[in-house]
């Protein structure tokens, strides 16, 4: 076991009708929420040894009042001092000089900024409130406080997005002093505003061919830069690969704290309640034992997302058996989807767009 992870989400998907941010809109409710969250933190303290990464996110932590944000970070400070990577997610339009100074004092050394796109007309369609200048100003404030490990969360396949829009976004990204880039394709989930707008034909999204073209362009453009793909949707300059992300993909344990948080401890995967009154009452929504066979599947489902692939040796050490006996890997190789390189199994570079064909093998 390499370490534990703390994940503290503060709101749900930006497009959801059940936006968690609305639940903690008042100072009074925020204070109550932090009170209960710290009680959960205290109950799980025994699991928080050898923490190597602290991740505060899943939404907009910097929408909290300064006093509540400071109280939260002070409670986490013992872990922040010891861990290697401490990340907080922010909305750029909410970042202040006061917050930035607080992050620096509290050992936050990595910032993830929710940008999605630099096209302001598209930002309005997905109900984001920031501007391009907000993003640039946020980065300026962070760099001024010597917080230089900065990730941008970007998206493609957005409503009304053209290839020209996408290429312009990529160039904007590359012009900024950042170290990490997450670039995800839009997935429209049910019970979201975008889902209902699509059903009513109020908006349209790029077709699959255009989305594939965007992804292929991104790979080609980034290949000539300092950003290297280390996961299907994540890119980093050398030495800036996210410890937190790699923990997930390496199936390491992590502690989830807060409403709607998920965790993985001692072969149990759990999820907390997302509705505040329920979370205040009993924290836990559901808990599931991960069987030996499910753990084997997760090893490949998560590990094959990494561009370096998975290690056969690691699998044998972890499970005491051969992956070739457990799964039909040679059929995937015969189909030209994966490749074997000495100890490593990985999805071929030109098959990333159809990686779901590989993952299907491990969900049966």
pLDDT tens string 69-79? 999 999 999 99
Q: Report residue 18's pLDDT band, with 50, 70 and 90 as the boundaries.
A: very low
Region of residue 318 (left: phi > 0; alpha: psi -120 to 50; beta: else): alpha
Q: What CATH fold (topology level) applies to the domain 5-249?
A: TIM Barrel (3.20.20)
pLDDT (0 to 100) of residue 36: 94
Look at strands 110-116 and 262-265 and give their pairing. Answer: unpaired
Give the DSSP H or E segment for 264.
strand 262-265
Look at strands 85-90 and 53-56 and give their pairing. Answer: parallel
- Cα distance between residue 101 and residue 99, in whole Å: 5
Give the global pTM.
Answer: 0.92
Q: Check whether 19 has a pLDDT greater than 70.
A: no
pLDDT (0 to 100) of residue 205: 75
Q: What is the mean pLDDT of residues 271-279?
A: 91
Q: Check whether 9 has a pLDDT greater than 60.
A: yes
Report the mean per-residue pLDDT for the chain.
Answer: 90
Q: Report residue 216's pLDDT band, with 50, 70 and 90 as the boundaries.
A: very high
Q: How many residues does the chain have?
A: 364
Residue labelled with tokens 């793909």: 229
pLDDT (0 to 100) of residue 294: 96
Residue spans per domain, the chain: 5-249, 309-364
Q: How many CA atoms lie within 13 A of 20 on its CB side?
A: 25
Please, what is the end-to-end C-alpha distance for the chain in angstroms?
A: 27
pLDDT (0 to 100) of residue 14: 35
73-125 confidence digits (pLDDT tens): 999 999 999 999 999 999 999 999 999 999 999 999 999 999 999 999 999 98
CA angle 253, 76, 88 (to 5 degrees): 75
């Amino acid at each position: 076991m390499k370490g534990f992870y703390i994940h503290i989400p503060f709101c749900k998907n930006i497009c959801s009708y059940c936006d968690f941010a609305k639940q903690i809109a008042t100072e009074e409710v925020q204070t109550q929420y932090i009170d209960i969250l710290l009680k959960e933190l205290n109950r799980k303290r025994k699991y928080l040894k050898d923490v190597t990464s602290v991740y505060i996110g899943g939404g907009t932590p910097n929408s909290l009042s300064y006093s509540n944000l400071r109280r939260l970070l002070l409670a986490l400070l013992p872990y922040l001092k010891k861990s290697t990577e401490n990340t907080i997610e922010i909305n750029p339009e909410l970042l202040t000089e006061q917050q930035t100074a607080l992050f620096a004092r509290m050992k936050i050394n990595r910032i993830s900024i929710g940008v999605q796109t630099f096209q302001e007309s598209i930002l309005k369609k997905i109900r984001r409130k920031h501007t391009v200048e907000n993003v640039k100003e946020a980065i300026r404030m962070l760099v001024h406080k010597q917080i230089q490990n900065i990730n941008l969360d970007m998206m493609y396949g957005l409503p009304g997005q053209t290839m020209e829009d996408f290429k312009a976004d990529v160039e904007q990204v590359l012009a900024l002093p950042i170290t990490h880039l997450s670039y995800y394709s839009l997935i429209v989930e049910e019970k979201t505003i975008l889902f209902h707008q699509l059903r009513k034909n109020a908006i349209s999204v790029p077709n699959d061919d255009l989305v594939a073209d965007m992804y292929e362009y991104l790979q080609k453009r980034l290949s000539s830069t300092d950003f290297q793909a280390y996961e299907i949707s994540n890119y980093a300059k050398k030495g800036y690969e996210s410890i937190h992300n790699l923990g997930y993909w390496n199936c390491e344990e992590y502690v989830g704290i807060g409403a709607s948080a998920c965790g993985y401890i001692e072969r149990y995967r759990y999820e907390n309640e997302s509705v505040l009154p329920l979370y205040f009452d009993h924290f836990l929504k559901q808990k599931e034992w991960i069987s030996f066979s499910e753990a084997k599947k997760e090893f490949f489902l998560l590990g094959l997302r990494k561009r370096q692939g998975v290690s056969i040796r690691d699998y044998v050490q972890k499970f005491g058996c051969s992956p070739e006996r457990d799964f039909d890997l040679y059929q995937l190789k015969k189909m030209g989807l994966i490749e074997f390189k000495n100890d490593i199994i990985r999805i071929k570079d030109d098959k990333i767009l159809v990686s779901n064909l590989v993952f299907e093998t491990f969900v049966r």
